[in-house]
Amino acid sequence: MFSTDWQTSKREYGVVIERNVEIPVGNGVSMKADIYRPDGQGKFPVLFTPSPYSKEVQGMAMMPNGFTYARGWIESGDFNFYVRRGYAMVIATIRGARGSGGSFGNIEPDPQTIKDLYEAIEWLSARPWSSGKVGMNGVSYFSMVAKRVAALKPPHLGAIFSPYGFTDGYRDLLYRGGILAPDFTEYWARRQAPFFTIENSLRKKWGDEKYNAAIKAAMADPEIMSNPLLVTALRAPDSGGNPMLVEILLNPLCNEYWRERAVNFEAGCEVPAYLGADWGMFGLHLPGDVRAYEQWKGPKRLTIGPPIYLDRPCYQYDYESLRWFDYWLKGVKNGIMDEAPVQLFIEGTGEWKQATDWPVPGTRWTPFYLHQGGLLSEHEFWPNEGFSTYEDSAFSHQGVEFWTPNMVEATEICGPIALNVHGSSTDTEVLWFATILHRDAAGKQRILTRGWLRGSQRKLDEKRSKPWQPYHTHDKREPLKPNQVYEFNVEIRPIGILLKPGESIGLRIKSADNDPPTNITEDIGLGSVSRPMASHVSVHHNIDNPSHLLLPITRGNRIGTFISGGKLPPLAKG
């Protein structure tokens, strides 16, 4: 690829392959790696791509197709592309996975695994064919480990190209809003565990007495006990891949277990980082990459694409990543750092929006109030509007919906969303699932994004919360008093969409995520537990309890929506 001002590294090398090279890392363990090198003389930058997945399949020749569960883990990038352009590429399996030594951690990598990668980077930098500069490439697990090792500041790690990688397993995937979401992890563990060496490290760390007491407590949780797969795992916690699932169940609050696995932004992540995801990955990677961009200390870029996960094997960011690595690992002045740091695909336009920061400067978070009759409007409340009530039980997960009038102005909504809902329940617990919907001019509806919150974990972290993005401590549960009204601040994952005249935005509030998915990314964002006991949940919307949705308006809606829908009534002459 080239322009009038720059060009990427040329395709000029053949490929030399070394299979099953052992990379020595911590505690006498070795990682298995396949090394792909240019066949020419000289020293080359190294692209290091570690994961728990098959390194052989990462390098197989196959035509990409749309993202599926079957191919979802082919994420390293094409070695042929990079090696032929002057990079050595090392595809490795992490500790405890597919022949590498040691025992495997979990779906969110453990600290020892990340320390291994630090050592591997330094080892690779010293190879006779290495220029001494190492980059990390790939999405999902490849991205997750890259962000975490970057916080350790390996001296020879020069850059990471790491979109699509959650940064806090508790918040981003496993306990979204404090609500356990086991389905994706259970499926992932069942598929991958046969290729791992697994030990019950949590039992070893805690000891039998504490571990068994935690098992007993988990088996007293009605939400867990209504899920047969989770019950089976708790009854056989040392069997197969169960230790991975059980240690997640035994840590229901955001405690030290989760903090030591999340990206340590406070350490000062200074390695140049290319971050991003797509709008459709709101249930997995999107929030983590946005968080990474906001907190990253070093040079950074953020790209959020259309709501379609990348084809597999991954290839679509090949040239963008090549420009990134050319700049940081080869010193090529190709202008990539002169471009706008934030690139956002806006649904409904087919076009990209550039910004100098995230959230987009100039965003107007506008309160849309929840009114009786299912109206979502900027209009203030009328007296005595009251509340809306729905039933939630194992047999009937009902909910309520609120919709804006049809847009008259083209209105762009781009950024994080917050729902401040005043609610009550006849139960001592409530699970909030807030879904943002889009309805086109023909009346067709679809899901845009979602937010989650366990009512008993409503406590905000006042230092980290922002009006447009609530941040909860998730460090304890405070049961509700039945029928008492509380304010709940629900973080809703970002969107970027242009609403055309005649279209509208909706808010669906339920206490379960049993909506049937229409595609695979929606499916990943589902799979949460629900309350097995029956309750009535009320959403209060009146002057004293002003429930409202904060929408990030970045263009249009200057006058505001028309409750009339912009339609004048028939002319009546007296």
What pLDDT was estimated at residue 383? Answer: 85
Indicate whether 82 belongs to any domain. Answer: yes
What pLDDT was estimated at residue 448? Answer: 98
Structure tokens at 411: 């209105």
Question: Looking only at Cα atoms, what is the longest distance across the chain?
Answer: 94
CATH label of the domain that carries residue 131: 3.40.50.1820
Element housing 319 (H / E): helix 318-329
Indicate whether 275 belongs to any domain. Answer: yes
Same domain, 206 and 230: yes
Question: How many beta carbons lie within 10 A of that of residue 394, not counting itself?
Answer: 12
Same domain, 322 and 291: yes
Residue reference for tokens 């039980």:
393
Task: Find the angle CA(244)-CA(248)-CA(527) to the nearest 5 degrees.
Answer: 100
Same domain, 44 and 120: yes
Averaged over successive runs of 10 residues, the pLDDT of the chain (574 residues) comes to: 94 97 93 97 97 95 94 96 98 97 96 98 98 98 98 98 98 98 94 95 97 97 96 96 97 98 95 98 98 98 97 97 98 97 98 98 98 96 93 96 97 98 98 98 97 98 97 98 98 98 98 94 96 97 97 96 93 82
Indicate whether 441 belongs to any domain. Answer: yes
Same domain, 471 and 527: yes
Indicate whether 574 belongs to any domain. Answer: no
Indicate whether 43 belongs to any domain. Answer: yes
State yes or no: cis peptide before 482, omega within 30 of 0. no
What pLDDT was estimated at residue 59? Answer: 87
Indicate whether 356 belongs to any domain. Answer: no
The β-bridge relationship of strands 300-305 and 342-346 is parallel
What pLDDT was estimated at residue 301? Answer: 98
Rounded CA-CA distance 447/517 in Å is 9
Under DSSP, the state recorded for 568 is P
Element housing 235 (H / E): helix 228-235
Same domain, 435 and 381: yes
Same domain, 393 and 430: yes
Indicate whether 23 belongs to any domain. Answer: yes
3-class DSSP state of 527: coil
What pLDDT was estimated at residue 18? Answer: 97
Q: Which of 253, 284, 305 is the last residue of a domain?
A: 253
Same domain, 188 and 269: no
Indicate whether 304 belongs to any domain. Answer: yes
How many structural domains comprise the chain?
A: 3
Query: Which residues fall within 8 angstroms of residue 540, CB to CB, at 6 or more apart?
Result: 386, 387, 422, 423, 424, 485, 547
Same domain, 244 and 334: no
Same domain, 51 and 100: yes
Question: How many beta carbons lie within 10 A of that of residue 272, not counting itself?
Answer: 22
What pLDDT was estimated at residue 498? Answer: 98
3-class DSSP state of 324: helix
Rounded CA-CA distance 368/376 in Å is 6
Q: For the stretch 324-338, what's the b/e string if a residue is b when 16 or more beta carbons lie within 10 angstroms of its beta carbon?
A: bbbbbbbebebebee
Under DSSP, the state recorded for 81 is H
Same domain, 164 and 197: no
Same domain, 282 and 151: yes
What pLDDT was estimated at residue 261? Answer: 98
What pLDDT was estimated at residue 27? Answer: 83
Q: What is the pTM of this model?
A: 0.97
3 state SS for 96-134: CECCCCCCCCCCCCCHHHHHHHHHHHHHHHCCCCEEEEE
Q: Which of 232, 253, 274 is the last residue of a domain?
A: 253
Structure tokens at 241: 């891949």
CATH label of the domain that carries residue 391: 2.60.120.260
Rounded CA-CA distance 285/172 in Å is 7
Same domain, 329 and 478: no
* R_g of the chain, CA atoms, integer Å: 25
What pLDDT was estimated at residue 572? Answer: 86
Where in the sequence is the domain holding 371, given as residue range(s)?
A: 364-555
State yes or no: cis peptide before 501, omega within 30 of 0. no
The β-bridge relationship of strands 300-305 and 273-278 is parallel
